[in-house]
Structure 1
Amino acid sequence: MPADLAVIGLGHLGLPLVQAAVAAGIDTVGYDTDPRPCAELRAGRTPVEGSLTASEIRRMLSGGFRPTTSAAELGRVRTAAICSPTPLGPDRTVDLTALRDAARALAARLRPHTTVLLESAVPPGTTENVLRPLLEEGSGLVAGRDFHLACSPSRLDPGNRTHTYASTPKVIGGLTPACTESAAAFYGRLTDKVVRARGPREAEMTKVLETNFRHVNIALVNEMAVACHDLGVDLWDVIRCAETKPFGFHPFRPGPGVGGHGVPVDPGSLPYSGRTPGHPLRMVSLAQEINDRMPSYVIQRCATLLNEHGKSVRGARVLLLGVTYKPDSADQEASPAREIAGRLMDMGAQIGYHDPHVLDWRVRQLPVPRADSLYEAAAAADLTVLLQQHRTYDLQGLAVKAQLLLDTRGATPAGAAHRL
């Protein structure tokens, strides 16, 4: 049965697009080479942590959504959106393997007049230099003439109830003006506002700028956190005061590290660029270095606090609160909690954790004991470390119960805990 839309990649990017499309009455098929997410979805379960709820999945299925591992479905749609994961590889360059696989699967079945959209986060030039050749070689069609091709990077903020898919403007950059308009016509059915970029590279670079803006500013406040602690200054009060300025300042807050699916990208490191960029983005590299140091700084603070109270890290009972990368979510992608736990274990600490959204947690393939009674566990632990401020945590109550509390998020009342 033909569908209006095929979403390729049923993960953190693809599923919200499917949800928005089904809600808009668009007949949607979801394709993934991995049979596991398709089987989970057919059973009414979400295949990825921190994504859609089971009830939302069931509503999508009842609305006509069909998950499949059959690539034949890709040749029967008007629009195909590639939402493949693009993680950083070991050399810290973007791994486009899944995107290339998706492009080849689509190219073998691509029909004339289809609109192909790229939502994955990619370095500038990927749409034209990687995706376009694969689609053209595999199909015998020409992008911009026989089919439409555009980039519209995802702007998702999982769990955000204020900025939904519909209320978040969609940036679109097509290979040709006609490609842009075809993509705009599709996204106009899903979102309240469409923003037309000059081309695919401008759309791709928009995502790079947005992600790097976040990382650079988080790095700034992370450095400020270390400096303020050394100077005996309350950074959290400084931020509270600074954010009253009505212009020229946007508040960011420090933390134990940076997690999530957005990764900082330096366009100066592109291996396939047709021309040599002038210089790499030194500030982006420095920001990543600073943010990568934060788990070590948290360990240092833990050791210092225990020492000041006559205890050693070795043998200490340490309770970690919140092991996800963002509050009120089950998503653990790149959360600093795992690195912090591993380092404490190396130092001989006895680690336990509590997270209302994570019922089973492993570090280095080893299960970490989960606290059943939060207050009892905090009272028994030599040190409790708040890594994520889930809404369900009564931080004032925890501060009273805990022997020693380190708050890495500045979420506890002033004076109730040691803050980062």
Structure 2
Amino acid sequence: MTVLSSKDLSTLAESLIEKFQNKTAIIGVVGLGYVGLPLAVEKAKAGFHVIGFDVQEKRTDMVNNGINFIGDVVDDDLREIVQDKRLKATTDYSLISEVDAVAICVPTPLDMYQQPDTSYVEASTKEISKYIKPGMLVVLESTTYPGTTEELVRPILEGSGLRCGEDFFLAYSPERVDPGNKHFKTKNTPKVVGGVTNDCTKVAASLYRSVLEGEVHEVSSPAVAEMEKIYENTFRHVNIALANEMAILCNKMGIDVWEVIDAAKTKPYGFMPFYPGPGLGGHCIPIDPFYLTWKAREYNYHTKFIELAGEINNSMPDFVVEKMASILNDVKKPLNGSKVLLLGVAYKKDIDDLRESPVLKIIEILEQKGVLVAYHDPFIASFVHNGKCYESISLNKEVLESIDLTVVTTDHSDVDYSLVTEYANQILDTRNAMKNINQDLENYFRL
């Protein structure tokens, strides 16, 4: 395999940047999930020919048929770029040999011991290493611990015989997907890029600038970019934990935590509102801080503050169930045998994403206590959890009157909360979704 000199690499960098600028480069995206498919679509919309790779044939078939399965992708956009042959999907990783740049957008979950599971990243990188060629750009986008790009991805790619910084470009650019966000999408969200070398950074930044409208911010290394992403989500993690702890304390003191937050956010400086809820969900915030705490142990450091925030957030489903038990107890009903309706199972409003949803934990706790659980979610018609199938039920007068306690667990917009107010026996609102409805009702409670 040809090995290039540093002088050749600089020339090659300029050549690849020119390909990005005139949209003649072929772009690969590995992983067609919540991050990868929106990114592939935006690159194709920008004028590139894009090849999407995924191990799930069902996904690749859907993409090739113009069938969308990700909420943040516009159906018509996907159909148009597939029809125009600007995007195709495949399970055949040998086609990586055809691309000039490839982004890795695969999951990075935690294992049963709450330690990083990098198996998807490793497997994807190994496939790329089989077909990597001189001058190719590889960008890792999966959220992970600081050091992954240089300590894990780089050695695998260099197993090909090529050398990073001498023969190919390698960078890290964290995804910033916020499912359901009406204002910030992949296209207009600022991007952070950190390459192994200056040329790596320059080339990767050029690719994103040719695709996105948001600012592309260059940092000095992949580790900085990796830590930046973890810091973003840890920031939200600990501030939500503070809001949750305030909710618990306010509940004990008979103070409305939502009114407290509304009052605090009138301060125009030094305060940013975060809100309590039934727990944390999604692929990022409940998981990413554990990547940092795991990595910190390598440096003999214990991230006490972050881990405490995790304990508080993880305890919220139990607190919600305790609150439910108290409400039912006041009307002389035990949890065991009561009928509970959960309004929403998605982890956040107006999306169909169940990943790490705290509502799943609430369901587990309730069923262990003998509660008869039903749910209504306009975005999730059915799901399977722990081998059991659940189906969304209709929300109507008869259903609400037959239920002992109705709990707002996800604040979806497309729910008739007025109907709930009129016919529900007891109501617990964990999301403040009914804040604009009469809160003087004796059967209405908030977290």
Q: Given the two structures, how large is their TM-score scaled by the length of structure 1?
A: 0.95
8 Å CA contact 1:330–1:358 kept in 2: the answer is yes
Q: Find the residue that maps to 2:364 and give its secondary structure.
A: helix
**Counterpart of 1:181?**
202
**Counterpart of 1:104?**
126
- Deviation, 1:281, is 1.6
Change in Cα spacing, 1:329 to 1:160, as seen in structure 2 (3 Å) is: same
**Counterpart of 1:220?**
242
8 Å CA contact 2:380–2:392 kept in 1: the answer is no
- 1:204 and 2:204 aligned: no
Equivalent residue for 1:348, pick from 370, 378, 399: 370
- 1:303 and 2:325 aligned: yes
Equivalent residue for 2:60, pick from 6, 29, 38: 38
Change in Cα spacing, 1:56 to 1:305, as seen in structure 2 (3 Å) is: farther
| Whole-Å separation in 2 of the counterparts to 1:324 and 1:162 | 20
Matches within 5 A, 1:118-267: 118-137=140-159, 139-192=160-213, 193-262=215-284, 263=287, 264-267=289-292
Amino acid at match of 1:78: D
- Deviation, 1:365, is 2.0
8 Å CA contact 1:351–1:368 kept in 2: the answer is no
**Counterpart of 1:321?**
343
Change in Cα spacing, 1:342 to 1:268, as seen in structure 2 (3 Å) is: closer
| Whole-Å separation in 2 of the counterparts to 1:327 and 1:46 | 20
**Counterpart of 2:96?**
74
**Counterpart of 2:78?**
57
Aligned residue pair count: 414
| Whole-Å separation in 1 of the counterparts to 2:359 and 2:74 | 24
Equivalent residue for 1:410, pick from 432, 435, 438: 432
Change in Cα spacing, 1:366 to 1:154, as seen in structure 2 (3 Å) is: same
CA RMSD of aligned residues (A): 1.7
Amino acid at match of 1:188: R
- Deviation, 1:31, is 0.7
| Whole-Å separation in 1 of the counterparts to 2:111 and 2:122 | 15
Unaligned runs of 5+ in 1: none
- 1:89 and 2:111 aligned: yes
8 Å CA contact 1:124–1:204 kept in 2: the answer is yes
**Greater Cα shift, 208-217 or 187-196:** 187-196
Amino acid at match of 2:434: T
- Deviation, 1:3, is 6.4
Amino acid at match of 2:308: L
**Counterpart of 1:269?**
294
Amino acid at match of 2:294: S
- Deviation, 1:240, is 0.3
| Whole-Å separation in 2 of the counterparts to 1:370 and 1:166 | 33
8 Å CA contact 1:351–1:369 kept in 2: the answer is no
Equivalent residue for 2:361, pick from 339, 360, 364: 339
Q: Given the two structures, how large is their TM-score scaled by the length of structure 2?
A: 0.89
- Deviation, 1:406, is 0.4
Q: Find the residue that maps to 1:353 and give its secondary structure.
A: strand
| Whole-Å separation in 2 of the counterparts to 1:415 and 1:209 | 40
**Greater Cα shift, 218-227 or 156-165:** 156-165
- Deviation, 1:308, is 0.6
Matches within 5 A, 1:5-24: 5-24=27-46
| Whole-Å separation in 2 of the counterparts to 1:288 and 1:385 | 24
| Whole-Å separation in 2 of the counterparts to 1:133 and 1:327 | 41
**Percent identity, aligned pairs only?**
38
Instruction: Give CA deviations for 1:85-131 in whole Å, capped at 9, x if unaligned.
Output: 10111111111001000000001100111111010001000000000
8 Å CA contact 1:268–1:277 kept in 2: the answer is no
| Whole-Å separation in 2 of the counterparts to 1:375 and 1:57 | 40
Q: Find the residue that maps to 1:265 and give its secondary structure.
A: helix
Amino acid at match of 2:111: G
8 Å CA contact 2:396–2:419 kept in 1: the answer is no
| Whole-Å separation in 2 of the counterparts to 1:62 and 1:237 | 51
Equivalent residue for 1:400, pick from 422, 427, 430: 422
8 Å CA contact 1:328–1:357 kept in 2: the answer is yes
- Deviation, 1:343, is 1.3
Unaligned runs of 5+ in 2: 1-23
Q: Find the residue that maps to 2:103 and give its secondary structure.
A: strand
| Whole-Å separation in 2 of the counterparts to 1:19 and 1:283 | 39
Instruction: Give CA deviations for 1:283-320 in whole Å, capped at 9, x if unaligned.
Output: 11111111110011111111111111111111111101
Amino acid at match of 2:377: D
- Deviation, 1:43, is 3.3
| Whole-Å separation in 2 of the counterparts to 1:3 and 1:67 | 17
- Deviation, 1:378, is 1.9
- Deviation, 1:375, is 3.8
Amino acid at match of 1:340: I
Amino acid at match of 2:446: R
